Amino acid sequence: MPITDYASLLRSARNQEQPQRLLFTFTQAQAQPGGQGRSLTPVMCADKLPDKLGSFEALEEESKQMQTHWDVVFVAGLAGREGQPPAPEDCEAPLRAMVAAIEQGRVDSLLAFDRSGDLLRFS
């Protein structure tokens, strides 16, 4: 199933053979010194079960409770095993790896959405 928007991401995660947990890293766009473009800096992370997620608007509304501005959210899936989703504590190392990948500009394996919920493509 191709992922074309946030709703198709949730459908895909819910239809995997093993239960999934979605990993989110929210980032802020920041100007580079000397006006050499912008970079994305991770500002907060979260993990959620797909069945506990609703619309992108609901995710954005929930993120407002953290009172941290963000511009782009990166998403990855983490598969469970033996019919059980990953436990929250199983998400810590993958989230750290996700943050490191974003900081190093290695985002080609991650999905990204802007604040409007539009799927972004990085080249």
Burial of 40 (0-12, 13-18, 19+ CB in 10 A): buried
* pTM to 2 decimal places: 0.92
3-state secondary structure 82-118: CCECCCHHHHHHHHHHHHHHHHCCCCCCCEEEECCCC
pLDDT for res 100: 97
List pLDDT tens digits, range 29-57. 988 777 677 889 999 999 999 999 999 99
- pLDDT at residue 35 in the model: 67
Taking only the tens place, the pLDDT of each residue in 53-107 is: 999 999 999 988 888 899 999 999 999 999 999 999 999 999 999 999 999 999 9
Whole-angstrom Cα distance, residue 90 to residue 74?
18
| Closest to 9 (Cα-Cα) out of 28, 24, 30, 27 | 24
- Which of 78, 93, 90, 79 minimizes the C-alpha distance to 23? 78
Instruction: Tell me which residue has tokens 């959405």.
Output: 113
3-state secondary structure of 55: coil
More confident: 113 or 121: 113
Give the dihedral of Cα atoms 47, 123, 32, 97; nearest 10 deg: 30
